[in-house]
Amino acid sequence: AQRVTQPEKLLSVFKGAPVELKCNYSYSGSPELFWYVQYSRQRLQLLLRHISRESIKGFTADLNKGETSFHLKKPFAQEEDSAMYYCALSGGYQKVTFGTGTKLQVIP
Amino acid sequence: DAGVIQSPRHEVTEMGQEVTLRCKPISGHNSLFWYRQTMMRGLELLIYFNNNVPIDDSGMPEDRFSAKMPNASFSTLKIQPSEPRDSAVYFCASGGRTTYGYTFGSGTRLTVV
């Protein structure tokens, strides 16, 4: 079975502070991991994927197979980062499992 | 590419009525997913198709829900009869190679009164 855990429902940080959104996963094979972002009342958008090792809007995420984690980080939060963030795992048959999401609130 | 297209954007219906939600995936994508999003439960996978074949429908809440994908460019999610607790935003997403992630539609906001 594949499972994604996002332990924090809400994360509030001040503008300029570092951000870390936690994601842990459970999967027996080699997973594909993603972060999606959903701004207020909009569609989910792919933010980044672990395989590309990219930085998008200042966010990065490193896959740690030992800790089965894929935490999302940004050194300096901006107000426009306020949104819901979903960690997702893709396993066999392209099935995608999402975590329950973390609402990031950046306080001016 | 217009992306994943869902219709309608908003649907308000009375309890007991049949509701049909529609999705047009991105051309060339071979997987399609239906999700339901609510404040209480977050994002739930209802069903997904691969090459038009339903692979996993274990997330479909009840027999009142059914989904079809008659061809690679169209899918429907039907609720019959609808109930107030079905009120949610329903998202459709499609994908090709898993490493590229998935593209979501704008969602259908369903309100059952």
Q: How far is Cα A14 from Cα A47, in angstroms, rounded to an integer?
A: 21
pLDDT bin (cut points 50, 70, 90) of residue B9 is very high
DSSP state, A76?
S
Give Cα separations from A89 to A93, A103, B32, B113 (angstroms). 12, 19, 15, 35
* Contact (CB<8Å) B42/A96: no
Per-residue model confidence (pLDDT) at position B98: 60
Longest dimension (CA), chain B: 41
| Cβ-based contacts under 8 A for chains A and B | 55
Q: How far is B108 from chain A (nearest CA, A)?
A: 10
Per-residue model confidence (pLDDT) at position A92: 63
- Chain A residue closest in CA terms to B107: A43
Residues whose CB is less than 8 angstroms from the CB of residue A26 and which lie 6 or more positions away in sequence, other chains included: A1, A2, A3, A4, A5, A68
pLDDT in tens, A67-94: 999 999 999 999 999 999 999 998 766 6
> In the predicted model, what is the mean pLDDT of residues B68-87?
96
Per-residue model confidence (pLDDT) at position B99: 59
Which chain B positions have a beta carbon within 8 Å of A47's beta carbon? none
DSSP state, B26?
P
Which chain B positions have a beta carbon within 8 Å of A100's beta carbon? 42-43
Amino acid symbol at B86: D
pLDDT in tens, A7-46: 999 999 999 999 999 999 998 888 889 999 999 888 899 9
> In the predicted model, what is the mean pLDDT of residues A50-74?
89
Chain-wide mean pLDDT for chain B? 92
Compute the residue count for chain B.
113
Per-residue model confidence (pLDDT) at position B87: 97
